């Protein structure tokens, strides 16, 4: 009998490491989720008036200010001389402005919980003010490197400016916290003034308007990006299939793509060639894809499309070339299967109406009072408090909010399930694996299917609980294992061959 302490150590190791490195750090006080903090800015009124003057809204010059952060459990932190400026693109011309705070701009070694900068976004596109939070947390739930975000009340010179989203800056500190290395090239990829950051034109590698280099600016050596685009645009199909995983963190990107498409994030790479970062990770010698700016999601539409119905395999803008990263992956049967399985996993776990509406309603309860007192909330699109309430559960709230959050997720999940190619789910690739168990998570009839190689008549399966208790044991006589008698929870599957005493473990979730 295997020692229970040994089992428990193995169990915890597998839970933490089955899906590789866990990228995203804890929220902490700086991005607290269950409390609504305030940040109170004091600055010269003349400087504030200059900053919001229509003649100056495109300026990136920081103005001097001081600030007080009022957080949970009575926490109060005062900040001396810091920088404040407007941020964003189209948002700069809105009535409710968005701001960037730079805590170390004028004062050395001054940080906001270790961060140099934070972004205060007005979220004017979204009457619910929670969509960006929900989608970024969906990425986070699925271990895709992503920014932290929370709600915060902003005051300037004692005037309540309204409810804002505080969004983490993607910079060297972000890179260190996610990838343990900040020395590589970080590119901010946007639509710019050309045809967007579509990764299809080598002659645009040094175009800082669409691939803005944020680190190593003095060197400005972009060979890694050039090699990536050259590979995407010149490799044969076989070369692409065999080698694309050498150029980008492919498992992470495919999960990201599935979330992008399910959430209706049309303003990202795969539809609009916009709003993402690429980081060349020197430790891995590949690119990391980092999604960004997810407010135009979950039913928000500015381009006359019904994103709830759009086919998951035919997502990109029709008649528009480019996007070889996505288009070539979706033409490869090998990676199309991986994509389909990512969609299937999301539909079974985190992209479910009940799960997501629990998230949405928690946010709603947290911010309702702050929204009702926000005099800037109605100024850009005429939002009312009733619009805020309706945006969670009703359709056609305003012109660009064609779906409420709940009906969008419900319909999107239904259509995606209908569109999903079930043949991609029916066979498990067991190459280089001792065994595979499917489906996982296990629900419904609770019949576990084992796909294995090199088993023999002595091979046994046992199921072990998180406490180390064995709840099931049987010699394997069929690859179909009935687990209907086992309660819901997280377990270990233990396969032993009965001869060499080799033991193989795999995490199992039973719903």
Domain boundary among 168, 196, 211: 168
Range of the domain at 104: 29-168
Q: Are residues 195 and 129 in the same domain?
A: no
Contact between 340 and 425 under an 8 Å Cβ cutoff? The reply is yes
Cα gap 309→479, rounded to integer Å? 37
Q: Are residues 265 and 366 in the same domain?
A: yes
Domain boundary among 168, 203, 223: 168
Q: Find where tokens 């995407």 sit.
A: 232
HSE, CB side, 13 Å, CA atoms: give it for residue 307: 30
Q: Are residues 158 and 250 in the same domain?
A: no
List the chain pLDDT tens, one digit each, 511 residues.
455 555 555 554 444 444 457 899 999 999 999 999 999 999 999 999 999 999 999 999 999 999 999 999 999 999 999 999 999 888 898 999 999 999 999 999 999 999 999 999 999 999 999 999 999 999 999 999 999 999 999 999 999 999 999 999 999 999 999 999 999 999 999 988 778 999 999 999 999 999 999 999 999 999 999 999 999 999 999 999 999 999 999 999 999 999 999 999 999 999 999 999 999 999 999 999 999 999 999 999 999 999 999 999 999 988 888 899 999 999 998 999 999 999 999 999 999 999 999 999 999 999 999 999 999 999 999 999 999 999 999 999 999 999 999 999 999 999 999 999 888 886 444 344 456 777 778 876 678 877 655 556 667 888 888 777 888 888 877 778 888 888 888 888 887 765 544 556 677 888 7
Pull the structure tokens for residue 391: 């945006």
Q: What is the pLDDT of residue 18?
A: 45
Q: Find where tokens 């045809």 sit.
A: 195
Structural domain includes residue 450? yes
Domain boundary among 135, 168, 201: 168
In this prediction the pTM is 0.80
Q: Which positions ≥6 away from 51 have C-beta within 8 Å?
A: 57, 59, 63, 84, 85, 86
Contact between 283 and 180 under an 8 Å Cβ cutoff? The reply is yes
Q: Are residues 288 and 345 in the same domain?
A: yes
Q: Give whole-number Cα distances, 298 to 144, 351, 474, in Å.
A: 18, 11, 46
Q: What is the pLDDT of residue 481?
A: 86
Q: What is the pLDDT of residue 477?
A: 75
Structural domain includes residue 153? yes
Q: Are residues 262 and 307 in the same domain?
A: yes
Q: What is the pLDDT of residue 491?
A: 84
């Amino acid at each position: 009998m295997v020692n229970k302490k040994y089992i428990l150590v193995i169990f915890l190791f597998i839970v933490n490491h089955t899906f590789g490195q866990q990228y995203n750090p804890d929220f902490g006080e700086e991005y607290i989720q269950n409390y609504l903090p305030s940040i109170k800015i004091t600055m010269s009124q003349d400087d504030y008036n200059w900053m919001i003057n229509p003649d100056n809204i495109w300026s990136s010059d920081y103005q001097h200010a001081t600030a007080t952060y009022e957080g949970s459990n009575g926490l109060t932190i005062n900040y001396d001389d810091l920088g404040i400026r407007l941020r964003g693109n189209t948002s700069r011309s809105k009535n409710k402005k968005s701001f960037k705070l730079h805590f170390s701009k004028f004062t050395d070694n001054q940080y906001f919980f270790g961060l140099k900068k934070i972004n205060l976004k007005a979220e004017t596109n979204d009457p619910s003010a929670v969509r960006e939070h929900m989608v970024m947390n969906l990425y986070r739930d699925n271990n895709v490197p992503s920014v932290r975000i929370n709600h915060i009340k902003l005051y300037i010179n004692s005037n309540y400016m309204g409810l804002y989203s505080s969004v983490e800056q993607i910079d060297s500190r972000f890179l260190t916290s996610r990838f343990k290395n900040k020395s590589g090239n970080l590119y901010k990829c946007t639509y710019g003034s050309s045809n967007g950051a579509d990764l299809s034109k080598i002659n645009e590698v040094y175009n800082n308007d669409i691939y803005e280099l944020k680190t190593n600016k003095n060197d400005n050596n972009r060979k890694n990006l050039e090699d990536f685009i050259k590979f995407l645009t010149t490799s044969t199909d076989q070369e692409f299939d065999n080698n694309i995983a050498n150029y980008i963190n492919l498992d992470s990107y495919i999960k990201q793509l599935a979330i992008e498409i399910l959430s209706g994030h049309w303003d990202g790479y795969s539809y609009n060639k916009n709003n993402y970062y690429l980081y060349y990770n020197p430790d891995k010698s590949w690119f990391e894809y980092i999604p960004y700016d997810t407010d135009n999601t979950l039913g928000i539409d500015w381009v006359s499309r019904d994103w709830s119905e759009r086919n998951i395999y035919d997502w990109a803008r029709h008649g528009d070339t480019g996007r070889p990263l996505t288009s070539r992956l979706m033409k490869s049967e090998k990676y199309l299967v991986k994509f389909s399985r990512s969609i299937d996993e999301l539909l079974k776990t985190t992209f479910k109406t009940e799960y997501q509406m629990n998230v949405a309603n928690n946010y709603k309860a947290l911010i309702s009072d702050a929204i009702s007192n926000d005099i800037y909330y109605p100024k850009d699109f005429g939002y009312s408090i009733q619009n805020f309430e309706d945006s969670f559960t009703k359709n056609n709230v305003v012109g660009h909010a064609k779906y409420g959050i709940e009906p969008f997720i419900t319909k999107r999940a239904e259509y995606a399930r209908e569109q999903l190619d079930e043949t991609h789910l029916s066979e498990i690739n067991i190459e280089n694996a001792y065994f595979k168990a499917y489906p996982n998570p296990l629900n419904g009839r609770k019949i576990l299917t084992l796909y294995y190689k090199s088993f023999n008549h002595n091979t046994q399966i046992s199921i072990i609980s998180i406490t180390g208790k064995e709840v099931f044991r049987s010699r394997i006589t069929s690859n179909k294992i009935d687990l209907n008698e086992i309660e819901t929870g997280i377990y270990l599957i233990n396969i032993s061959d009965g001869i060499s005493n080799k033991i193989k473990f795999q995490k199992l979730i039973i719903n």
